[in-house]
Amino acid sequence: MVNTYDFGLVGLGVMGRNFILNVADNGFTAFGNDLDEEKVNALIEEGGNEEKVNATSSVATFAQGLSTPRKIMLLVPAGKVVDIVIDNLLPHLDKGDIIIDGGNSFFTDTDRREAYLQEKGINFFGAGVSGGAKGARKGPSIMPGGSRDAYQHVKPIFEAVSAKYKGEPCVAYLGPKSAGNYVKMVHNGIEYGLMQLTSEIYDLLKKAGDLTNEELHRTYASWNAGRLQSFLVEITSEIFEQKDDLGDGHLVDKILDKAKQKGTGKWTSQNAMDLGIPVPTIDVAVSMREISALKEERVKADELYGRPIPESVVKKTLVNKAESALYFAFIITYAQGMHQLADASKEYGYELELGEIAKIWRAGCIIRAALLADITQAFKADAGLQNLLLSPSFLDKVQETVGATRELVAYGATNGIPLPGLSNALTYFDAYTSSRLPLNLIQAQRDYFGSHTYERLDKEGIFHTEWED
């Protein structure tokens, strides 16, 4: 069993086990490693043929069993565990071997690990993997970043196991250093935005249109058959159908309205702030998870303030407008995420090709959507596109849906239904498309109280005024 297996995987939790079985399904031999003997045995049993899929709890046996250069993927929790696993592996590796971190690691950790391993002659990849447990088993979207040369060794395996969109693999070499983890982080930021939007539209349809769960199921299912076709809209329609197996009625009505988070959405927002890129729809999606956590306070405040009784609306009209508004806000959310990627690419030297990124998001990942085919086209047509909103191919899509968005945002504000994702998307759009904003006044205020200076529209240079004179 020396140097035989094509691919190694450390961390045989659900994701790891599914990924390794996917590798084996695609004709590669795979070797798993986990300290937990139960997980090791479970994989051997499920693999069915030890020549194709095997596992061990011994790091030495694991490393010996892999063909060189070793290709070892880690699917372990982000954070310290990744460093521990790397240090455990190191004594058993040779120069030229490749370690791939497939978790949601913070991108600066990936840069640090890459530099550390480079000194030892080991190639390190940060590869975002999206698609959950099912994706890992049947075909995820994979976002690798690291050394372009070393990627050639991993490429055949990743292309085979990844999801396919019309036969094209949903994986591509994205760029050096932490490019892969960075792209996955922004993917998750977009994921937060889309999830917030689908949820608030549900709230609106329920409170303003009195839609039952059956109607919500049918509405989201019909949207999924149209331009809103996407994984998140699809699973949303299925969620409304699910009966509660512990009681009467539908499960969705029994789930506590407090959303948890592991941090990737927050990182996207934080880093966007650092870079000076506006991503307000993603920011507010993070804030809404934080507001959701304040359940007890919300209950008290609801009793204190109450809210208006929503004016009645025609159900069909509401549903049509909601479809338009959701489409509009989806576009804006992708636009913000892509904008962040474009700027981060310059800042961190990732040399990202946005068309390639949209392309590998078309299948396998959580934010896959019909819209991504259009986004791919827009960036293929103009690789330097500053913002999706400036693409001629998006003009009509946005113009046609912004009116309904305005009406719903106004309705939500009048009737006390929070639509923060939708209204932020609209505000972003209105601000981004304003040739003149009132920030001249902010400059005047800054100069007034702090002599911070300002520029003028009509003359070159830096100016200061003694305002109080």
* Binding site residues, ligand 6PG, CB under 6 A: 104, 130-132, 188, 191, 261-262, 264-265, 365-366
Q: Which of 39, 114, 177, 191 is catalytic?
A: 191
Our CB check for ligand 6PG shows the closer of 104 and 123 to be: 104
Reply yes or no on whether 321 is catalytic: no
Is 289 annotated among the ligand-binding residues? yes
Q: Provide the minimum distance between the beta carbon of 104 and ligand 6PG in the complex, in angstroms, as a whole number.
A: 5
Per residue, the 3-state secondary structure of the chain, as one string, reads: CCCCECEEEECCCHHHHHHHHHHHHCCCCEEEECCCHHHHHHHHHHHCCCCCEEEECCHHHHHHCECCCCEEEECCCCCHHHHHHHHHHHHHCCCCCEEEECCCCCHHHHHHHHHHHHHCCCEEEEEEEECHHHHHHHCCEEEEECCHHHHHHHHHHHHHHCCEECCEECECCCECCCHHHHHHHHHHHHHHHHHHHHHHHHHHHHHHHCCCHHHHHHHHHHHHCCCCCEHHHHHHHHHCCCECCCCCCEHHHHCCCCCCCCCHHHHHHHHHHHHCCCCHHHHHHHHHHHHHHCHHHHHHHHHHHCCCCCCCCCHHHHHHHHHHHHHHHHHHHHHHHHHHHHHHHHHHCCCCCHHHHHHHCCCCCCCCECHHHHHHHHHHHCCCCCCHHHCHHHHHHHHHHHHHHHHHHHHHHHHCCCCHHHHHHHHHHHHHCCCCCCHHHHHHHHHHHHCCCECCCCCCCCECCCCCC
Q: Provide the minimum distance between the beta carbon of 15 and ligand 6PG in the complex, in angstroms, as a whole number.
A: 9
Is 131 annotated among the ligand-binding residues? yes
Q: Provide the minimum distance between the beta carbon of 153 and ligand 6PG in the complex, in angstroms, as a whole number.
A: 25
Is 187 annotated among the ligand-binding residues? yes
Q: What are phi and psi of 378, to 5 degrees?
A: -60, -45
Is 104 annotated among the ligand-binding residues? yes
Our CB check for ligand 6PG shows the closer of 104 and 105 to be: 104
Is 26 annotated among the ligand-binding residues? no
Q: Provide the minimum distance between the beta carbon of 341 and ligand 6PG in the complex, in angstroms, as a whole number.
A: 16
Cα–Cα–Cα angle for 247, 249, 254, nearest 5°? 70
Is 188 annotated among the ligand-binding residues? yes
Q: Which of 39, 177, 184, 321 is catalytic?
A: 184
Is 262 annotated among the ligand-binding residues? yes
Reply yes or no on whether 191 is catalytic: yes
Q: Provide the minimum distance between the beta carbon of 365 and ligand 6PG in the complex, in angstroms, as a whole number.
A: 6
User: Which residue's Cβ lies closest to ligand 6PG?
Assistant: 130
Our CB check for ligand 6PG shows the closer of 104 and 376 to be: 104
Our CB check for ligand 6PG shows the closer of 141 and 324 to be: 141
Is 446 annotated among the ligand-binding residues? yes
Our CB check for ligand 6PG shows the closer of 11 and 131 to be: 131
Q: Provide the minimum distance between the beta carbon of 77 and ligand 6PG in the complex, in angstroms, as a whole number.
A: 11
Our CB check for ligand 6PG shows the closer of 56 and 104 to be: 104
Residues in binding site: 104, 130-132, 187-188, 192, 262, 289, 446, 452
Residues in binding site for substrate: 104, 130-132, 187-188, 192, 262, 289, 446, 452
User: Catalytic residues, which ones?
Assistant: 184, 191
